[in-house]
Amino acid sequence: MTKSRSRRTLLFNPKKLNNPFWVCVISLAIFIPSRSCSPTSPTLINFGDSNSDTGGVLAGTGLPIGLPHGITFFHRGTGRLGDGRLIIDFFCEELKLSYLSPYLEALAPNFSSGVNFAVSGATTLPQFVPFALDVQVRQFIHFKNRSLELQSLGKIEKMMDEEGFKKGVYMIDIGQNDLLVALYASNLTYKPVAQKIPSFLAEIKLAIQNLYANGGRKFWIHNTGPLGCSPKELALHPHSHKDVDQIGCLRVHNQVAKSFNKGLKSVCKELRSQFKDAIIVYVDVYTIKYNLFTYPKTYGLENDPLMACCGYGGPPNNYNVKATCGQPGYSICSNPSKSIIWDGVHYTEAANHLVASAILSSHFSTPNLTLPQISYS
């Protein structure tokens, strides 16, 4: 990590993004309409795993995800894994959209702001397995065709229209589960995992190509975070000081994450050359999240960064697979807003808010565009 990168992060002030005057000035300066200048509401179409699952696993499998998940903001279980809002929820708030309904939600969904195909536990491979990335893309194609069919019959309430599909931002955040499964299979050995990474990236590339073929022109692609900083991984895998980096995160986990991210950035660059009329933004979520673990107190995160807020076992990681968050015996830290990790894997609402704010700054985007800029273009 360079000093300049971390310095930019620490100086970033997300409140500046909420000033309509500056949003409009910046947008006009680069000839892209902003939310204050354009009457058209944006739409988000999301694909991924638990990082952005707003209830897909609950709707799709019936797996009960109740309190304490959701305790901070929703005060009930919503299917989100965390104590409150996810990064994508903060994106919706920034764009003045309703929170995204899961595609599989049968009761009173609202698809006017977009749709969410993300399901916790999702992977890129194997194909044809619910709810792998290729299945999520197939679901989207069906959703689009059926939506337009219903609109042609005059049924348009709480649905996306043709313009929404055409100008929507197609978001992908997936890959961490593939890497973890491969790490477990290789007994935490780097080389066998590195050899599998191209196959994971090929699926993401194919997903973008298929979405482009179905009208998508604006893509927002997240890389994966520092998997080695997860309290769950640290608790499950015995390790010595040689196995961790300077802040205590597992080296091999973060090495495979970095390799995956390097390849994903190259895929995005290649597709920009292939699709001249598309916007493909690669977002370096890894650096943002790693900065939280490196400088937690700078962000007001005063609890041990490598310790889960909700779990069992106490220091150093407060994670036990036999009593995970919500199972008998668990406890919750006194103030979740002071922790990075909620349940050993997923981030707290406070951490998600910080990550979302940094993403919205555009400092970690290639090309250097903000989500509101491409959403209203």
Q: Select which of 222, 253, 346, 353 is catalytic.
A: 346
Active site residue 337: no
Q: Select which of 50, 147, 357, 375 is catalytic.
A: 50
Read off φ and ψ for residue 282, nearest 5 degrees. -100, 130
- The whole-angstrom separation of Cα 97 and Cα 376 is 13
Active site residue 346: yes
The CA-based dihedral angle spanning residues 98, 104, 106, 109, taken in that order and rounded to the nearest 10 degrees: 10
Active site residue 331: no
The closest of 325, 350, 347 to 338, measured between CA atoms, is: 350
Q: Where are the alpha helices (DSSP H) in 117-188?
A: 133-152, 162-167, 176-185
- The whole-angstrom separation of Cα 38 and Cα 265 is 31
Crossing angle of helices 285-294 and 251-274, in 10° steps, is 150
Neighbours of 85 (CB within 10 A): 24
Environment class of 19 (CB within 10 Å of its CB; exposed 0-12, middle 13-18, buried 19+): exposed
- Let me know: does 49 contact 56? Beta carbons within 8 Å: no
H/E stretch holding 214 reads none
Q: Select which of 343, 357, 361, 365 is catalytic.
A: 343
Tally of CA atoms within 13 A in the half-sphere of 39 that contains its CB: 0
Q: Which sequence positions are flagged as catalytic?
A: 50, 343, 346
